Chain A
């Protein structure tokens, strides 16, 4: 076992490790640091021959880009696996997973080791992205399937019907019988027209582009009531104001999704939708609220469906710098609330 000297192994480890190893005293003065730390950390401002303080390199402890010194590791004897932000040679900040342990109690020397977090996060991010892409592709495929089925089962079949009906016209000699048949075909045609119109409105309502959010939502709610039997109580102070098209789309789609969720999961007979232009902090905002008094759900639980709906709402809202709040409690109901800053409404 003891074929090599521990000291030489430790030295080799210290010098060659891809992990930053820094020895500091109790004031944070750097006693030693390894090559990795020297090449990584920003040293431009310091005289290399002098002891320098770790605080010159460290930005603070924290996570998710918020960090400060309130939780400084220097104040503790031992602090394991925490996240710390350091300034690197290129002047950028980087996140590390750090360990801080006092190893020499007499001289108050501690060892501070740092592992880059970005690699780990990149991998996680990548995996997450992959999963998300898969789900989005799946959702897209499902949507296509639905449209294709709608076209095939509805439109194609009825058209074929019509074709056969009309072929029979020429064999019908009796005038009255022919009239009857023509009337039938007429009915089929107007039914088809209705059907196609429904498909196209479902995909994207023309009224959203032509008449604005209020008109489009009203039409949509009427459809929701007929389709799912849920009463939508719509209250708005938007008359026929128009906003930038991307904002109108976001508002329409997010409200649509929230109402759909209420219809699908709340088991309530009614959902209320409020849509208002408000003045807050001296800026114009669109504020909306979708509320039901139905089942509700536990916020931390796994989503009942794919979870893509909620994710999509968040994504859409943040694309126009808005905020979205979802609140739900079992037995009480669910409230979805959104704020979107808008320029003065465009006429």
Chain B
């Protein structure tokens, strides 16, 4: 657990007023197709600790595959209860609105997926998303890359 990444995540969660913030593992190395949630704050249970994420599946899998951010203001407008089960982090944390974004390394590899969510539908304006994205790039991304360099 990297203390500066923790602090950064905490302040992002506070600043942009999200109830839950989650970041996946960065080790998506060759021959290893599964990765895990590494930091989750604001969770209601321990399930995320045991979850194993696959490249093409689940919310992080989707973000990883497309390399694009996802901003959803009300999950029930898009998924039904059964469909939501394919995104366990949303289902079990009762997330109703969220931002999910990939974090890129300098050589254009996704080194982590960040999810910020609320437990009720909420307006996430373009302005807010852009500010968040810039903030993540300037703080969290740097911390993650620093950690990777250290290893």
Contacts and interface: CB of A to CB of B under 8 A. Distances in A.
A158 B47 CA distance: 29
A44 B143 CA distance: 96
A128 to B, nearest CB: 24
Contacts of B51: 226-229
B50 A191 contact: no
B44 to A, nearest CB: 8
Contact of B92 (A154, A194, A226, A228): A228
Contact of A229 (B33, B44, B92): B92
Interface string A210-253: 00000000000000011111110000000000000000000000
Interface string A141-155: 010000000000110
Contact of B88 (A158, A229, A267): A229
Contacts of B49: 229
B5 to A, nearest CB: 22
Interface in B31-54: 31, 33-34, 44-52, 54
B55 A227 contact: no
Contacts of A231: 50
A136 B90 CA distance: 27
A77 interface: no
A230 B30 contact: no
Contacts of B81: 305
A228 B47 contact: yes
B92 to A, nearest CB: 7
A229 B48 contact: yes
Contacts of A226: 34, 50-52
B31 A190 contact: yes
A227 B31 contact: no
Interface in B80-119: 81-82, 85, 88, 92
Interface string A194-210: 11000000000000000
Contacts of B56: 153-154, 157-158, 195
Interface residues of B, number: 22
A267 B57 CA distance: 22
Contacts of B92: 228-229, 267
Nearest to A183: B30
A269 B30 contact: no
Contact of A142 (B31, B44, B54, B82): B82
B138 to A, nearest CB: 31
B31 A187 contact: yes
A228 B33 contact: no
Given A142-B82, A228-B88, A229-B92, A269 B55 contact: no
B21 to A, nearest CB: 17
Interface of B: 30-31, 33-34, 44-52, 54-57, 81-82, 85, 88, 92
What 8 A-B pairs are tightest by C-beta distance, nearest first? A229-B47, A226-B52, A229-B50, A229-B51, A269-B46, A191-B33, A154-B56, A225-B50
Interface of A: 142, 153-154, 157-158, 183, 187, 190-191, 194-195, 225-231, 264, 267, 269, 305
Given A187-B31, A191-B55, A226-B34, 4 more contacts: A191-B33, A226-B50, A227-B51, A229-B50
22 contacts: A142-B82, A153-B56, A187-B30, A187-B31, A191-B33, A191-B55, A194-B33, A225-B50, A227-B51, A227-B52, A228-B47, A228-B51, A229-B46, A229-B47, A229-B50, A229-B88, A230-B47, A230-B50, A264-B85, A267-B92, A269-B45, A269-B47
